[in-house]
Amino acid sequence: MNGTTTIAEFRDAVLDPAKRAHYRLAWLSTVDHKRIAVLYMLTALVFFIIGGVEALFMRLQLAVPNNHFLQPDTFNQLFTMHGTTMIFLVVMPVVFGLANYVLPLQIGARDMAFPRLNAFGFWCVPFGGILLHFSVLAGGAPAVGWFSYAPLSETPYSSSPGVDYWAVALFVLGIGSISFAINTIATVISLRGPGMTMRRLPLFTWINFVNAFIIIFALPVLNAGLAMILIDRLLQGHFFLPFRGGSPVLWQHVFWAFGHPEVYIMALPAFAMVSEIIPVFSRKPIFGYEFVAASSVAIAVLSLGVWGHHMFTVGMGRPLDVFFAISSMLIAIPTGVKVLNWTATMLGGRIRFDVPMLCCIAFLIQFLVAGLTGISHASVALDWQTKNSYFLVAHFHFVAVGAIVFAVLGAIQYWFPKMTGRMMSESLGRWTFWLMVIGFNMTFVIQHFLGLLGMPRRVFTYPDLPNWGWMNMLSTAGVFFMSASALILVWNLATSFFRGKIAGDNPWDAWTLEWATTSPPPHENFIALPPIRSRRPLWDIANPDRPDPVVGEVSAAVALPDHNKVGILSFILSETGFFGALILAYLYFYARPGAGPGPKELDVPRTLVFSVCLFASSFTFWRSEMALHKQKRGSTLGWLALTIVLGAVFLGGQANEYWKLFQSGVDLSTNMFSTTFFTLTGFHGLHVLLGLITLLIFLWLGWEGDSVSSKFDSAFKAAGYYWHFVDVVWVFVLLTVYILPLVR
């Protein structure tokens, strides 16, 4: 070749794992789901230690009344960083890691649907974590709490860049989480092995699949909120600044519209782990598979509409309080159904009390307590009394530690043999477990009573009131047990990795597919898959005389949808949430007009002309797709080029409109209208621009002669879905921003 590489050569060199294996840093450049999963979990472990030390410092400060071990501002930074770290850098990465490892194995897939997207999603975690912690060097960590309420988080009240780093870090982590969710959905829908129908999915896979949808809907809402607060802080917008017409309560709505589903994003994977472990160690199939599966869907759907119970003390008004109270209480039903199922699975089983099972039993008991205090917070009158007290702190730590961390501890002990080929030490595991049970309950049970006595959360110290001293001291003492437990866990992981007992393929006599392959599995996961007719394929093999009843049709050969299509549709779903939040924020302020420029400044006829260009580009793209289908290369490229030109003309029109507004002195910081207008249309324009870049890449690929492969076809279609979606969004933006003011 004349010095340049063709696309095919380039692709082979970069994408073939065998050709990259010689790299010294193979673990860092890996796209293997098993290695990425381990990286996820190791990263979580590192941040778990950081977040744990932060907690230790806080508890030391609170051990005795009137303590001056820490400065108030340091304490604020510590609780902000502790909360953010534990949620976004510990729980989410570790549950994603476990799912990343186990889920493809359970469905008999070779890897996740998009291995490189998977690597991208993982690398967002260390990147986001470093961004967040870099704030410490750049003028102080954020000190506004993990939900970063406005207006405290706005520039006038938090002038150091801590909140900026916080917001950018969470934005990055949010993108990573969404990419993981897209990958999960595409994997489960498109990569199941022969015989693995949707109804035969193991519960772990099913619940993680459902969870991916909550991520897809909830995280984009957070990202929209983060974009707004960054625009406020960096571009002088006014979304959440009350004295410029903004609304701090809107931030609370946006944040909790994400924040409540987030609780379930963390809890559902824990449910998934427990649903897998309890049957295996009770030597019984799960009691009521269908109920566990369906109640997960109910939880997922309900979780999206109950965020108001975080805001009872804001003063939303009686009607909102009542409706949110009722809808929040409804969630107790599917959750209770699950607890019943797990308990009934254990009933009459030959229970083996190994460490994974011990963790699950502790999970059940502690989760029950967490659920009961949770329901108490759904009651408005009770919530008014206990909100922002240590009662609340105790409640959510019972969820986050008592339920989620215990489930994760059990899951690690359970799947560690599969990942490493060696068993974790059972005796060290018991030490970890019992120290954690003692430490956790010592720390947090007493906090319920501290809260009921009136101790508020987020205070750096407290006066020497009756009983407060010894209660806090007891709470602090518990932390040392938990620290010891964590140290033993790390020691156990390290020593078992090198010297643990050899595990064999299926050390627990479990029934799901991941135990059908070697420990650790080969790069391609399976040499051959066993026949799958029920939800416990390995049981069927071990007990040919009494197999499980066949689920669904016996020969369930189904054509799986193209993973590119599923992936891009999931992505579009998440973008819908993002734009939905932005449009609703626009309407919120549109209905409360202030002084200064408004929609009347906009040139509607001119915008309509440019809109026609954008809509026409959807048509030309469709023609291009048709031509590709008929293998007409020239015509494909011609229509594609026309699509790009039309998109560019639209962007030019938008740029022109911006320019005219700037000329007349209207920019993002002028008033609420300009803030919301530029945010909404700006983000749409950005999406058009990204679409144009994508289409240009395809034009280049087609020009180079790559348009014959079937891969090109499927990817081209996926790009088309995205392009049409961008046009559909514009329909809604056009209606809201330009047409709505005309019809009133």
Could you list the residues that contact another protein (CB under 8 A)? 198-199, 290, 293-294, 297-298, 301-302, 305, 317-320, 323, 326-327, 330, 551-553, 580, 584, 587-588, 591-592
Q: Where do the H-state alpha helices sit in 453-555?
A: 468-499, 537-542
Q: Which residues pair with 456 in a beta bridge?
A: 389
Smallest distance, Å, CB 183 to another protein? 20
Name 164's Cβ contacts closer than 8 Å, sequence gap at least 6: 135, 230, 233, 234
CB closer to another protein out of 48 and 204: 204
Would you say 295 and 338 are in contact if contact means Cβ atoms under 8 Å apart? yes
CB closer to another protein out of 57 and 255: 255
**Integer Cα distance of 239 and 224 in angstroms:** 12
Smallest distance, Å, CB 119 to another protein? 30
Residue for token digits 């820490």?
70
CB closer to another protein out of 330 and 648: 330
CB atoms within 10 A of CB 530: 16
CB atoms within 10 A of CB 475: 22
CB closer to another protein out of 74 and 327: 327
CB closer to another protein out of 147 and 588: 588
- Tell me the backbone φ, ψ of residue 389, rounded to 5 degrees: -110, 175
Smallest distance, Å, CB 612 to another protein? 23
Smallest distance, Å, CB 333 to another protein? 11
Q: Got the DSSP string for 200-257?
A: G--HHHHHHHHHHHHHHHHHHHHHHHHHHHHHHHHH---TT-GGGT--HHHHHHHHHH
CB closer to another protein out of 303 and 389: 303
Smallest distance, Å, CB 673 to another protein? 15
Q: How far is CA 381 from the centre of its chain?
A: 32
In whole angstroms, how far apart are CA 145 and each of 61, 84, 163, 620? 17, 8, 10, 49
CB closer to another protein out of 317 and 463: 317
CB closer to another protein out of 124 and 182: 182
Residue for token digits 């704030």?
135
Q: Degrees (nearest 5) of the Cα angle 93, 225, 149?
A: 90
Which tokens go with 467? 């009983």
> Is residue 520 reached through a cis peptide bond, with omega within 30 degrees of 0 on the bond before it?
yes
Q: How far is CA 178 from the centre of its chain?
A: 6
Smallest distance, Å, CB 325 to another protein? 11
Smallest distance, Å, CB 302 to another protein? 7
Name 93's Cβ contacts closer than 8 Å, sequence gap at least 6: 40, 41, 43, 44, 47, 125
Q: What is the dihedral of CA 308, 312, 317, 318, to 10 degrees?
A: 100
**Integer Cα distance of 227 and 221 in angstroms:** 10
CB closer to another protein out of 463 and 549: 549
CB closer to another protein out of 73 and 553: 553
CB closer to another protein out of 438 and 728: 728
**Integer Cα distance of 551 and 533 in angstroms:** 6
Query: Residue 533 has what DSSP assignment?
Result: -
**Integer Cα distance of 505 and 499 in angstroms:** 17
Terminal Cα distance for the chain, rounded: 65
Smallest distance, Å, CB 301 to another protein? 5
CB closer to another protein out of 238 and 253: 253
Name 25's Cβ contacts closer than 8 Å, sequence gap at least 6: none
* Dihedral angle sign, alpha carbons of residues 53, 132, 668, 739: negative
Smallest distance, Å, CB 317 to another protein? 6
Smallest distance, Å, CB 150 to another protein? 17
Q: How many CA atoms lie within 13 A of 277 on its CB side?
A: 29
Smallest distance, Å, CB 323 to another protein? 4
Smallest distance, Å, CB 206 to another protein? 11
Residue for token digits 């992981």?
493
